[in-house]
Amino acid sequence: MAGLTRRAFRMKLKAGNEAEYQRRHDAIWPDLAALLRAAGIVDYAIFLDAGTLDLFAVMTLAPQADPGPLPEHPVMRRWWDFMADLMEVEPGNRPKEWPLVQVFELE
């Protein structure tokens, strides 16, 4: 993974929304997927801890990735609005995120 950067963070799902969260991500909007790829995100996975409803996200970024403008993009804002009823969010519907610190990697 030379040159790639990985970011991991935690989000929180609201109780009773597990199936709907999965359904919406199974039907990810093509324009959102294209936007993420254009920002240099080469891999993005989200895992659910069903016991706590914590969502763990791991994102891999290309060497020249620039995800900084994503929060202001209309497609991203529309996705956040679409998902806001399922998750804990900040004002403006951005999902609350808690960064995770990497403590191990097997290479």
Token pair 């763990």: residue: 56
- What whole-number distance in Å separates Cα of residue 10 and Cα of residue 64? 24
Read off the pLDDT of residues 7-30 as tens digits, 9 standing for 90 and up: 999 999 999 999 999 999 999 999
C-beta atoms surrounding 85 within 10 Å: 11
With cut-offs at 50, 70 and 90, classify the pLDDT of residue 99: very high
In the chain the domains, ranked by start, together with CATH numbers, are 5-99 (3.30.70.100)
What does pTM read for this prediction? 0.92
C-beta separation of 12 from 88 below 8 A: yes
Q: Two tokens at 59?
A: 């994102």
Rounded to an integer, what distance in angstroms lies between the CA atom of residue 89 and that of residue 100? Answer: 18
Residue that wins the pLDDT comparison between 2 and 98: 98
The catalytic site residues sit at 25
Could you read off the pLDDT of 60-98 as tens digits, one per residue? Answer: 999 999 999 999 999 999 999 999 999 999 999 999 999
